[in-house]
Amino acid sequence: MGMYINPSNEEFEGIVSDAYVDKTGLIALVNGAIGTPRKLIAVTRPRRFGKTFAAKSLVAYYSCGCDSRKLFEGLDISRDPSFERHLNAYNVVRLDMSAFRDVPDVASSVTGRLLEDLVRELPGTTLRTEAIDLALTDAVNVTGRRFVFVIDEWDAPLRERRSKASQEAWVYFLRLLFKNLTFTDRAIAACYMTGILPIVRYGTQSALSDFWEYTFLQPYAYAPYVGFTESEVKLLAKQSDMNVEELRRWYDGYGLRHFDENTGRHVTTRCYAPYSVAKACANHEVGRYWTSSEAFSSLRFYIDMDFEGLQQYILQAIGGASVRVRIGKFENDIHEVASRDDALTLLCHLGYLAYDARTETARIPNVEVRSELVDAVSESRHAGVARIVRESDALLEATWDLDEETVAKAISAAHDDGCAHQFYNNEQALRAVVRAAYIATANHYAEVQEFPTGRGVADIAYIPRRGDPAPALLVELKWNRRPTAALEQVLECDYAKSLHDWGGPILLVGVTYDPKTRKHTCRIEEA
């Protein structure tokens, strides 16, 4: 068993011994691609969406360097007809490219380490070491087994600000293995490659065009394996005594559309951020577990540059609005963002926005991501955004002080700043403005839209985080109604009763907009 060639199954064994969600149905999909033109697979999804767990399961299943039969007994793949045929039947090359983060010349380093492993794996065998494809071909001839490549974080060398020569050498290395007709057809059974960004294009052509891509925006048959599904989260919630609705508000929102062969129709599958759900269930408490990645740190530069009003679009999204985005022209390179659409597309690939292909729009998927984006916008060096954040802080203070006039003026200012549609046409547009105006609540509250109250539904509820002394806020919105209508509904339906177990102060906030006078009014009472 080598480090890179024919590794053991110990890493996957450690995963299965914990609270493991069975995703081994993915292996059946890869088995179905072996021996077909679809055998080169690139699956891209955001950071902490289970890419490495999937890679480790594939290594344990395919590697001839271990015996994994007992490890997979009872899991989904063990019931698939292809299970026996491919179990531990291949030479496996396992590469985690995040481990090469500090290596100046990635391609040369990978080549050298693979050659060293081959020599250890096949002592006494003469290998042509002048080129990696020749050495691997010799290994196939000696062992009678083809290779399965499992490359995790394939794009890590391209996301780092390396020299152009080093990046091009890494792409050339991949082309040598997977665009080499003689070697690829003879020596490779399959390749499963993960990453955050889709395959980089050079000009109008992909450098690795033979790969079948399954991206976060278009996962196709791989959609159930991108994140946790609804049924999986319900099971985890039951085991850990967690509230499913609360997990949904915090970590769901990535509806993935794909074709379901069982029904013969296109369906949309709920997709939860798996790392965050697992952490919340283990800790028995929701919270922000999905921290900003190095890719988002780079993207913040473009937010500060404010391409074509990008910051206003993000503020609109924070306010709950869906924003238009054209994803087709993005070159899949984090260092080559040239427009607002590029930046928004990148946000979609990174998981900060959920994309709807039918409407070509994107929105913030859940509470956790919204909190991350609020922090990012708050740290912006752009004067206009910094002002909006300061004004949101002042708005929150005014709400706590029951200063109705200041609150109404602040919401009007947020609308004039373009935090949502410039012209209201319904209460949904008003809600987008109010949510954007209250972006400062992310530091103190969990936001719940359509909060059930028993005798109605509050448009927005802001529930203080554990240990925060801030009062709870129940907000009702009315468009084209008299100034007191919103608060009257809150009082008449006794919305505060829904928080009778809260134990802390509660403020009832009614916001009304008159389209004739274009004036916002606010009424606030303590419950």
Q: What is the pLDDT of residues 66-75, one digit of tens each?
A: 999 999 999 9
pLDDT(260) > 80 = no
Q: What is the pLDDT of residue 272?
A: 93
d(CA 18, CA 16): 5
Buried b or exposed e, range 97-120, using 16+ CB within 10 angstroms: beebeebebbbeebbebbbebbee
Give the least confident one: 90-104, 263-277, 343-357. Answer: 263-277
For 518, the token pair is 């274009």
Residue range 420-442: mean pLDDT, rounded? 73
Per residue in 54-63, pLDDT (tens digit) is 999 999 999 9
Q: What is the pLDDT of residue 282?
A: 93
User: Which of the four pLDDT bands, split at 50, 70 and 90, describes residue 424?
Assistant: low
pLDDT(482) > 80 = yes
Give the least confident one: 98-102, 173-177, 331-335. Answer: 331-335
Instruction: Read off the pTM.
Output: 0.80
Cα–Cα distances in angstroms (integers) from residue 394 to residues 97, 388, 437, 507, in the given order: 46, 10, 10, 17
- The answer to whether 28 and 77 are in contact (CB under 8 A) is yes
Q: What is the pLDDT of residue 92?
A: 97
Per residue in 299-317, pLDDT (tens digit) is 666 677 677 778 778 877 8
Indicate if the alpha-carbon torsion angle 301, 305, 306, 308 is positive or negative.
negative
Full DSSP string of 114-150 = HHHHHHHHSTT----TTSHHHHHHHHHHHHS--EEEE
CB 68: neighbour CB atoms within 10 A?
19
Q: What is the pLDDT of residue 459?
A: 87
d(CA 524, CA 511): 9
Cα–Cα distances in angstroms (integers) from residue 479 to residues 3, 34, 376, in the given order: 64, 58, 31
User: Which of the four pLDDT bands, split at 50, 70 and 90, describes residue 167?
Assistant: confident
User: Which of the four pLDDT bands, split at 50, 70 and 90, describes residue 297?
Assistant: low
Residue range 362-370: mean pLDDT, rounded? 89
Give the least confident one: 56-65, 130-139, 178-187, 457-466. Answer: 457-466
Q: What is the pLDDT of residue 486?
A: 85
Residue range 267-286: mean pLDDT, rounded? 90
Per residue in 208-251, pLDDT (tens digit) is 888 999 999 888 889 889 999 999 999 999 999 999 988 998 99
- CA–centroid distance for 143 within its chain: 40
For 262, the token pair is 């069982």
Q: What is the pLDDT of residue 381?
A: 59
Q: What is the pLDDT of residue 205?
A: 46
Give the least confident one: 157-161, 179-183, 193-197. Answer: 157-161
Buried b or exposed e, range 75-84, using 16+ CB within 10 angstroms: bebeebeebe
Residue that wins the pLDDT comparison between 352 and 201: 352
Q: What is the mean pLDDT of the chain?
A: 85
Q: Which amino acid is at 277?
A: V
Residue that wins the pLDDT comparison between 420 and 130: 130
Q: What is the pLDDT of residue 162?
A: 63
Residue range 145-162: mean pLDDT, rounded? 87
- Give the residue from 446, 448, 435, 438 showing the smallest Cα distance to 393: 438
Residue that wins the pLDDT comparison between 3 and 388: 3
Q: What is the pLDDT of residue 55?
A: 95
pLDDT(258) > 70 = no
Q: What is the pLDDT of residue 108?
A: 93
- The answer to whether 323 and 315 are in contact (CB under 8 A) is no
Residue that wins the pLDDT comparison between 264 and 40: 40
pLDDT(145) > 90 = yes
Residue range 356-367: mean pLDDT, rounded? 89
d(CA 363, CA 143): 51
pLDDT(402) > 90 = yes
- The answer to whether 371 and 439 are in contact (CB under 8 A) is no
User: Which of the four pLDDT bands, split at 50, 70 and 90, describes residue 53?
Assistant: very high
Q: What is the pLDDT of residue 204?
A: 43
Q: What percent of the chain has pLDDT over 90?
A: 41
Highest average pLDDT, of 284-288, 376-380, 410-414, 456-460, comes from 284-288
Q: What is the pLDDT of residue 493?
A: 84
Q: What is the pLDDT of residue 434?
A: 87
Kind and range of the H or E element at 213?
strand 212-214
pLDDT(203) > 50 = no
